Structure 1
Amino acid sequence: MTANPVTFPPITDAAWPQEAEQLKDGFAGRLNVYRTMAHHPRLLNAWAPLRDHIVVKNALGAQFSEVVILRTGHQMNAPYEWAHHVSRARACGMDDARIASIAGPPEQMERDDATLSRAVDELMLNKSLAPETIATVTGLVGREGLFDVIATVGFYTTLGFIVNSFETPVDEAIQRELAERPLDRT
């Protein structure tokens, strides 16, 4: 990859935009991806309510949400998203073998993880879900969960574009965690 002549590094507290001041001490100030997005404070402000739904109030539950996010991060080849969500997946009770499987073929995943991962793959490749996929995912997570799968893929695809385009660094705490406890892929 060639060096990007236009960079948008994570914004420091001292340079934080006044227009997004109310987000600095919350989620946006804690993560480099949102500190990068703060270069466009109106976007960051608009992003906040959707983030609250996708990350906190979705119909998928913590583990299924992490499966969808990890698979999206894997498909986007977004090391930032993968690293952060390895940490989050561990925090919600997923073991390393299960987490690592999300980067592999669906045939080697737990059945429900494979269902969700196939849906992510289908969205990324075909830009839509086939009727049988809609039925299978709805059977697993319900109607609202189906919409949340689609919305989560869209949300994390956008974040993947941001972190990949601007080479946003993985946050130091996540770097330390993964250095001390690398993902066991066995």
Structure 2
Amino acid sequence: MTTTRVPRIPPLPPAEWPPVLRSLLADSHRDGPGRENLFGTLAHHPVLAHAWLSLARVLTHEGTLGHRRRELIVLRVAHRLDAPYVYRRHRTPAADAGLTDAEIDATGADLDAHAWAGEDSDLLEAADLLAVNSPVPEGLWGRLARVLSPGQLVELLVLAGQTATMCATLNTLHTPSDQQPSLVVRLDRERCCSAGQCVGAAPEVFEQDEEDGRVTLLVPEPDARCADEVRFAADLCPSGAITLVDDEEPARS
């Protein structure tokens, strides 16, 4: 099985947003790009959109955790919930908050793979637990309470919950990132063994020749909406005749 990036509820274009939503986006340029599809999805429910984005604005601009702590929590929760829209969107704010490239990459790996300092380690451990609604043990809570005020502890919980809600919503709706990575498909017909599984997985991109049975590449640079199907097709190819080059992962065959 493979997922699709075709959105279940297509984001509304900005021309169809209510004025208050357009105003919110226009007034928050400092939050960076990459939220048009998020706003366009929320635009289907303007009242809820305003409430959601008002909370997000409080957490981002009026919170007391600090930018570094906030981005660590958001990145880690997004990683644990396999939410690429949120994870990619927050890499730039995380860098602006002072996280190094190595630290940002490490939020998407096992915690033991990076030498996190005490407070960072505790925050990431808490994010792991909160992302899946697991209890926070007393020892970890005590360590957090020694460095965070009661208000900051409440903010930490709400931030993790709001991030998890956003991840679940965008994942379930298959909301695409605003900047879709390019995808290039390379096909070695000499290696093709005529299994045809790729044609079944991505018929818009591959076609089986009726004469020799080998596969023909129809679209070398397919639309991003077909990316998951194309990756699935490459995984199915028993002869390794399909090679993919994109911005998400290294080339593979």
Larger deviation: 158-167 or 7-16? Answer: 7-16
| Pair 1:60 & 2:61 matched | no
Output the TM-score relative to the length of structure 2.
0.61
Matched with 1:76 is 81
Q: State the distance in 1 between where 2:5 and 2:101 align.
A: 34
Tell me which protein shows more helix as a share of its residues: 1
1:24-72 per-residue CA deviation (whole Å, 9 max, x = no partner) reads 53349x6121221111111011113211221112121111110000000
Deviation at 1:139, TM superposition (A): 1.7
Matched with 1:95 is 100
Q: State the distance in 2 between where 1:59 and 1:71 align.
A: 19
Q: State the distance in 2 between where 1:83 and 1:72 align.
A: 12
Give the paired residue count: 177
For 1:146-161, list aligned pairs within 5 A. Answer: 146-161=153-168
CA contact (8 A) 1:101 1:109 kept: no
- Residue type of the alignment partner of 1:122: L
Unpaired stretches in structure 2, ≥5 consecutive residues:
183-246, 249-253
CA contact (8 A) 1:80 1:169 kept: yes
Q: State the distance in 2 between where 1:63 and 1:6 align.
A: 32
Matched with 1:105 is 110
CA contact (8 A) 2:18 2:43 kept: yes
- The 3-state SS of whatever aligns with 1:144 is helix
Larger deviation: 114-123 or 136-145? Answer: 136-145
- Residue type of the alignment partner of 1:34: F
- The 3-state SS of whatever aligns with 2:90 is helix
Instruction: Name which structure has the greater RCO, CA cutoff 8 Å, separation 6+.
Output: 1
- The 3-state SS of whatever aligns with 1:170 is coil
Matched with 2:122 is 115
Q: State the distance in 1 between where 2:42 and 2:135 align.
A: 27
- Residue type of the alignment partner of 1:44: A
Larger deviation: 52-61 or 126-135? Answer: 126-135
Inter-CA distance 149–13: structure 2 relative to 1 (3 Å threshold): same
CA contact (8 A) 1:102 1:109 kept: no
Q: State the distance in 2 between where 1:19 and 1:62 align.
A: 26
Unpaired stretches in structure 1, ≥5 consecutive residues:
none
| Pair 1:11 & 2:16 matched | no
- Residue type of the alignment partner of 2:50: N
Matched with 2:26 is 25
Output the TM-score relative to the length of structure 1.
0.81
1:57-99 per-residue CA deviation (whole Å, 9 max, x = no partner) reads 2121111110000000001100011101111111222111111
Q: State the distance in 2 between where 1:66 and 1:99 align.
A: 9
